[in-house]
Amino acid sequence: MRITFPYMGYYSPVFSNLFRKLGHDVVPPPKPSKRTLDLGTKYAPEFACLPLKILLGTYIETLEMGADAIVSSGGVGPCRAGYYTRLQEKILRSLGYDFTMYTVEPPKGHMMQLLKTLRAFVRVPVTKLFDAIVTTCLKLWYIDEIERLCHKIRPLEVKKGTSTRLMEQAVAEIDKAESYGDVRDVGRAFIKKFNEVEVEDRDPLKVGIIGEIYVVLEPSANFEVIENLNKMGVYAHRSIFLTDWVKENAFLDALRIQPEKEIRSQAKPYLNHAVGGHGENTIGETVRYAKSGYDGVIQLVPFTCIPEIVARSILPRVSRDLGIPVMSLILDEQTGLAGVLTRLEAFVDLLARRRMQSGELPA
Amino acid sequence: MRGYLGIDVGSVSTNLAVLTEDGELIESLYIRTQGQPIKAIQSGIGQLKERLPKDIRIMGAATTGSARKLAGVIVGADVIKNEITAHAVAAMKVVPDVRTVLEIGGQDSKIIIIRDGVVVDFAMNSVCAAGTGSFLDHQAARLGIAIEDFGDLAAQATTPVRIAGRCSVFAESDMVHKQQMGHSVPDIIAGLCQALVRNYLNNVGKGKDIQPPVVFQGGVAANKGIKAAFEEALETEIVVPPYFGVMGAVGAALLAQEQIEQTKAETQFRGFEVSDIEYNASSFECTGCANRCEVVEIKQDLTVLARWGDRCGRWQ
């Protein structure tokens, strides 16, 4: 099998590595580009959301490069994305591609199906499998830790560009590390390097980033919103990291522990019903950000995303009740950065003035 | 005579304004950008030079609008600010206790909520341009009437027809249908104004706490039909400032003044001569890494004035 999968932020090399360790050839997905989106929008239904279009475009690109198996996630609950692999499979087959589609469902209610899917991948002895999984988890964990640090340090770095370069080096080095010990050493070394970056001594404005998981995780789908905020000197905290999500949905959920309960209880006064996707999280996280002293929240909404639309219509009340400014960025096929930068700049201006008024020093 | 210069380079128009130290407008200009911002800025500066008193001394300059960065490099700006802030500042100068600003331009429309002199919330149109000036321009042209007469015609309406305002394409086909049914032009135009206002309030103004005093600015504020439709929908009086079309530039000039007075710095303004300088804008793809950033380079003769577009900062 020549496996491919959706491109997602810095995680892609880790997944390539995992599939290789499981005994497969891999066609690493290219970073979503103008061509990816062109292909996606050409063959996807017009009303589908941006993630479906980007993923479809990515699959076409990788199938052209020789992939014959696609691995993607499914989903439960009232969000269309749970059905996207089926739809994409139909579209791709109608275009004449021959391949196998593997949908990895969350364990909740689909445990047997998940195990069956996973069994199809494993081509190596159990000991090697164990090693591959453990090393992959550690890689993901370090990438998340280092990226969190990057988002924190970048707005304050004295020499502009240091953090971004360091982050890219870290991902490349972690990718190269083979054993558990190597990954740990490389990870630790980069955490140390990040902590040694020369930074300004000030308290930056803090913004929480919430919304649909794919556009939150993949910078090319969200106009690099975090990097752009960082460049304006603002600390942006991403509400979703893959290791958190996997921990919550794959492991703890399978053990019938529900850590998401907390975020749901935060959302409860405003939204007490599953609306699919990250709709409840969007509300719950906003409450959490407001309570932890953040200056503002930015919601990333793929155009026509139902869970986020539901959340968006509730957010003004949350914003009013808790006094935290919220801005929604709607993401679709447009790629013009100027309009987004204007909105970000204006939002940052608004937050800075608010802080000034409340008597603290401007950031 | 001392003055402050503000330049607002938008998608459709490039506006310039020069204010006195007391915030009085000395001169303002409205030029079509026509996709050539550098040329528009230079021609604007050239025309300003002709029209301004000979003894004028520019103490500070600021740029805003979607080409604010480019404009800032060309003229040498002390402040480069987004248009939300610029519009809010200008509206507060005209109506100090303003609480809502409605702004509709060529391709952008925005709403700004102000409380106690501070912007507390705002929104801009997202994926749809149905509520903006370009759409009105297009429909006026199709009906064969001058956009300037739009408002007066709308005022003659007896029974405005209902037009679907959600999407400009559907609005147009709805309009054609109503025309073919025999409705009068004033009734159709009044209906169109109402549709546009409805669309604006449902999209841009959705969930916003709109409180009077309300100021309406931007090019579309010239249209009395839209103003009347807003007044009807919001059940409040709408103030259209005298220089509604150049409020972004006025705001920029005010921001320049604020900055210069605070820092007591010398202005970066390169002088009115910038209208005669040859600027070259070009771009190249950086091959330094996988990001392949498109880097824009602005040159004056052989000197590089500025570069941007690279994510890592190596070219800046």
Instruction: Specify the CATH number for the domain of residue A350.
Output: 3.40.50.11900
Query: Is A302:A215 a contact under the CB 8 Å cutoff?
Result: yes
Query: Is B84:A346 a contact under the CB 8 Å cutoff?
Result: yes
The chain A residue lying nearest B69, using CA atoms, is: A338
Q: Which amino acid is at A250?
A: A
Whether residues B170 and B185 share a domain: the answer is: yes
DSSP state of B132: S
Instruction: Tell me the shortest Cα–Cα distance from A345 to chain B, in angstroms.
Output: 6
CB atoms within 10 A of CB A256: 7
Strand partners, B16: B7, B29
Query: Is B59:B267 a contact under the CB 8 Å cutoff?
Result: yes
Strand partners, B307: B297
Whether residues A163 and A219 share a domain: the answer is: no
Domain for residue B199, yes or no?
yes
Instruction: Tell me the shortest Cα–Cα distance from B180 to chain A, in angstroms.
Output: 31
The chain A residue lying nearest B209, using CA atoms, is: A316
Domain for residue B316, yes or no?
no
* Cβ pairs A/B, distance under 8 A: 65
Whether residues A75 and A179 share a domain: the answer is: no
Instruction: Tell me the shortest Cα–Cα distance from A108 to chain B, in angstroms.
Output: 36
Residue where one domain finishes, among candidates A94, A124, A154: A124
Whether residues A170 and A297 share a domain: the answer is: no
Domain for residue B9, yes or no?
yes
Whether residues A277 and A224 share a domain: the answer is: yes
Compute the distance between CA of residue A121 and CA of residue A147 in angstroms, rounded to an integer. 29
Query: Is B102:B214 a contact under the CB 8 Å cutoff?
Result: yes
Whether residues A296 and A313 share a domain: the answer is: yes
Whether residues A113 and A130 share a domain: the answer is: no
3 state SS of A99: coil
Residues of B in contact with A354 (CB under 8 A): 118, 120
Whether residues B27 and B64 share a domain: the answer is: yes
The chain A residue lying nearest B314, using CA atoms, is: A161
Whether residues B186 and B100 share a domain: the answer is: yes
- Report B:179-198 residues touching A (Cβ under 8 A): none
- Closest alpha carbon to B105 in B25, B179, B206, B8: B8
Whether residues A8 and A85 share a domain: the answer is: yes
Read off the pLDDT of residues A17-68 as tens digits, 9 standing for 90 and up: 989 988 899 999 999 988 899 999 999 998 889 999 999 999 999 999 999 9
Mean pLDDT of B175-192: 89
| Summary mean pLDDT of chain B | 88
Compute the distance between CA of residue A50 and CA of residue A36 in angstroms, rounded to an integer. 11
- Closest alpha carbon to B4 in B17, A122, A27: B17
Rg (CA), chain B: 21
Helix H or strand E segment including B109: strand B109-115
Picking from A339, A342, A354, the nearest residue to B118 by CB comes out as A354
- Report A:234-263 residues touching B (Cβ under 8 A): none
Whether residues A208 and A331 share a domain: the answer is: yes
- Looking at chain A, the whole-number percentage of residues with pLDDT higher than 90 is 63
Picking from A168, A319, A346, the nearest residue to B84 by CB comes out as A346
Instruction: Tell me the shortest Cα–Cα distance from A346 to chain B, in angstroms.
Output: 6
Domain for residue B314, yes or no?
no
Picking from A320, A341, A346, the nearest residue to B122 by CB comes out as A346
Contact B84 A303 (CB under 8 A): no
Query: Is A212:A218 a contact under the CB 8 Å cutoff?
Result: no
The CATH code of the domain that includes B154 is 3.30.420.40
- Closest alpha carbon to B43 in B53, B35, B33: B33
* Lowest-confidence region among A164-178, A339-353, B168-182: B168-182
- Closest alpha carbon to B42 in B314, B224, B223, B280: B280
Whether residues A263 and A350 share a domain: the answer is: yes
In sequence order, the 6+-apart residues with CB closer than 8 A to the CB of A354 are: A295, A325, B118, B120
Whether residues B212 and B122 share a domain: the answer is: yes
Q: Is the pLDDT of residue A363 over 50?
A: no
In sequence order, the 6+-apart residues with CB closer than 8 A to the CB of A196 are: none
Compute the distance between CA of residue A193 and CA of residue B142 in angstroms, rounded to an integer. 63
Give me the domain span that covers residue A37.
2-124
Whether residues B147 and B226 share a domain: the answer is: yes
Q: Please check whether residue A342 touches B, CB under 8 A.
A: yes
Domain for residue B224, yes or no?
yes
The chain A residue lying nearest B202, using CA atoms, is: A313
Strand partners, B8: B15, B64
Instruction: Tell me the shortest Cα–Cα distance from B120 to chain A, in angstroms.
Output: 6
Compute the distance between CA of residue B23 and CA of residue B254 in angstroms, rounded to an integer. 7
Whether residues B161 and B233 share a domain: the answer is: yes
Question: What pLDDT band is residue B129 in, cutting at 50, 70 and 90?
Answer: low
Compute the distance between CA of residue A315 and CA of residue B276 in angstroms, rounded to an integer. 51
Compute the distance between CA of residue A316 and CA of residue A269 in angstroms, rounded to an integer. 14
- The two beta strands, B57-64 and B109-115, are unpaired
Helix H or strand E segment including A343: helix A337-357
Cα B11-B231-B10 angle, rounded to 5 deg = 10
Read off the pLDDT of residues A153-195 as tens digits, 9 standing for 90 and up: 999 999 988 999 999 999 999 999 989 999 999 999 999 999 9
Read off the pLDDT of residues A102-137 as tens digits, 9 standing for 90 and up: 888 777 666 777 777 777 777 788 888 888 888 999
Compute the distance between CA of residue A98 and CA of residue A52 in angstroms, rounded to an integer. 20
Whether residues A113 and A230 share a domain: the answer is: no
Structural domain total, chain A: 3
Compute the distance between CA of residue B228 and CA of residue B197 in angstroms, rounded to an integer. 10
Residues of B in contact with A338 (CB under 8 A): 66-67
- Report B:216-275 residues touching A (Cβ under 8 A): none
Residue where one domain finishes, among candidates B221, B240, B259: B240
CB atoms within 10 A of CB A304: 17
Whether residues B63 and B145 share a domain: the answer is: no
Query: Is B110:B87 a contact under the CB 8 Å cutoff?
Result: yes
Compute the distance between CA of residue A239 and CA of residue A266 in angstroms, rounded to an integer. 14
Compute the distance between CA of residue B77 and CA of residue B5 in angstroms, rounded to an integer. 9
Higher pLDDT, A206 or B192: A206
Contact B121 A350 (CB under 8 A): yes
User: Can you read off the two tokens belonging to residue B293?
Assistant: 């950033």
Contact A330 B108 (CB under 8 A): no
Per-residue pLDDT at B126: 67
Question: What pLDDT band is residue B130 in, cutting at 50, 70 and 90?
Answer: low
Whether residues B203 and B143 share a domain: the answer is: yes
Dihedral (Cα; B69, B72, B73, B78), 10-degree rounding:
-130
Contact A342 B82 (CB under 8 A): yes
Residue where one domain finishes, among candidates A202, A230, A257: A202
Contact B312 A164 (CB under 8 A): yes
Picking from B108, B122, B290, the nearest residue to A350 by CB comes out as B122
The CATH code of the domain that includes A100 is 3.40.50
Q: Please check whether residue A160 touches B, CB under 8 A.
A: yes
Domain for residue B313, yes or no?
no
Structural domain total, chain B: 3
Query: At which residue do the structure tokens 């304050």 appear?
Result: A156
The chain A residue lying nearest B293, using CA atoms, is: A33
By 3-state DSSP, what share of chain A in percent is helix, strand and coil, each rounded to 5?
A: 60, 10, 30
Query: Is A260:A248 a contact under the CB 8 Å cutoff?
Result: yes
Residues of A in contact with B127 (CB under 8 A): 303, 330, 332, 334
Contact B83 A357 (CB under 8 A): no
Q: Is the pLDDT of residue A310 over 60?
A: yes
Whether residues B231 and B261 share a domain: the answer is: no
Whether residues B214 and B294 share a domain: the answer is: no
Dihedral (Cα; B18, B20, B23, B24), 10-degree rounding:
-80
Give me the domain span that covers residue B302.
279-308
Contact B313 A338 (CB under 8 A): no
Contact A342 B83 (CB under 8 A): yes
* Lowest-confidence region among A293-307, A324-338, B15-29, B63-77: A324-338
User: Can you read off the two tokens belonging to residue A349?
Assistant: 């201006």
Letter string b/e over residues B143-181, b meaning 16 or more CB atoms within 10 A of that residue's CB: eeeebeebbebbeebeebbebbbeebeebbebbeebeee
Alpha helices in chain B (DSSP H): 37-51, 68-75, 83-94, 133-143, 150-155, 168-180, 185-203, 224-234, 247-263
Whether residues A177 and A210 share a domain: the answer is: no
The chain A residue lying nearest B311, using CA atoms, is: A161
Residue where one domain finishes, among candidates A152, A183, A202: A202
Residues of B in contact with A160 (CB under 8 A): 313, 316
Whether residues A151 and A66 share a domain: the answer is: no
Q: Is the pLDDT of residue B20 over 70?
A: yes
